[in-house]
């Protein structure tokens, strides 16, 4: 299963919905990624794909300083799961892979 691409996420948090964008790429057999949102770009760490289960970690500073752990299930061009920040309750995560724009002939 490939998770390469740009993903539009929606995270339902106690302070409202957050809509980051995650870029995932496979390079030399390893997954790399960057999350963008709230005016910052942060690298993804500990990225793991096991079957359809994708997990990663990231540290953010906006809207507050948090270390996040994501655990999602990928189904084609959609994903669903949770994001956990320390002792805070889990937040629901959904996402869709952006499709490449169609070229007109």
Full residue range of the structural domain in which residue 20 is found: 5-97
Domain-located, residue 104: no
Domain-located, residue 74: yes
Give me the pLDDT at residue 13, please.
87
State pLDDT tens for residues 54-64.
999 999 998 78
Domain-located, residue 103: no
Tokens for 27? Answer: 């390079």
Domain-located, residue 48: yes
pLDDT higher than 80, residue 1: no
Tokens for 36? Answer: 């963008």
State pLDDT tens for residues 11-66.
998 888 999 999 999 988 899 999 999 899 999 999 999 999 999 999 999 878 99
How many domains in the chain? 1
CATH of the domain at 19: 2.40.128.20
Domain-located, residue 91: yes
Tokens for 64? Answer: 């507050």
Q: CB pairs under 8 A, 24+ apart, for 72-79?
A: 74/1, 74/3, 74/49, 79/7, 79/9, 79/54
Domain-located, residue 55: yes
Domain-located, residue 105: no
Domain-located, residue 102: no
């Amino acid at each position: 299963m490939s998770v390469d691409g740009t993903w539009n996420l929606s995270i339902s948090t106690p302070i409202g919905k957050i809509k980051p964008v995650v870029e995932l790429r496979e390079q030399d057999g390893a997954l790399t990624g960057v999350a963008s949102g709230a005016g910052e770009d942060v690298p993804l760490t500990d990225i793991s794909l096991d079957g359809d289960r994708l997990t990663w970690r990231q540290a953010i500073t906006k809207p507050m300083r948090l270390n996040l752990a994501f655990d999602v299930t990928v189904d084609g061009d959609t994903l669903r799961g949770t994001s956990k920040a320390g002792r805070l309750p889990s937040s629901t995560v959904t996402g869709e892979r952006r499709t490449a724009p169609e070229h007109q002939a």
